[in-house]
Amino acid sequence: MTTRRRVFLALWPDPATRTQLDRLARTLTGPGRPVPQAHLHLTLAFAGSVPAEQADCLATHIHALHHEPIALTLDRLGHFTRARVTWAGPGQPPGELAQLAQQARELCQHCGIELPPAPFRPHITLRRQALPPPHEALAPPVQWSADTVVLVESGQDGHPGPYRVIASTGIEHQPPSSPTP
């Protein structure tokens, strides 16, 4: 049996941005539960449950995603009805963000991972089992200088669960390890 790993490539917030996002998630009204602070991220490419060799390939080549910091203004709240999540994202995503997401998709392809065609919708999930937020504008917006890309394993043996950063590129700080939710 092939060992599988459930992985994704993401932008990882610095501690100050992570704290702001966590505070925002906890102040939103209505049903739902905040995403654990250590799990807040902006997905660039979700590889899913892949053979361990493909996850290792992503970890080996993550340096290809090193980039200059991207200035993100998270000024919009939204909701994905089917997933029942509330999120924050940029109203006007910078072109560099879409380019980085495309490079993440290409890295997955390089490692033999075929991703389904889907538009890139940059967002950070704030709450699960949530209803739509009462408003779309996020004031004041969260300013984020996004400079760290990580490869995260979610769970074990290809099944969802706690996050574990297995590789990163970007600034020198280490992303926080995460406790079990």
Which residues are marked as active site? 41, 123
Cβ neighbours of residue 103 closer than 8 Å, sequence gap 6 or more: 64, 65
Yes or no: say if 5 and 49 are a contact pair by the CB < 8 Å rule.
yes
Q: Identify which of 21, 17, 38 has the alpha carbon closest to the alpha carbon of residue 179.
A: 38
Yes or no: say if 175 and 44 are a contact pair by the CB < 8 Å rule.
no
Rounded to whole angstroms, the Cα distance separating 63 from 43 reads 17
Rounded to whole angstroms, the Cα distance separating 80 from 163 reads 22
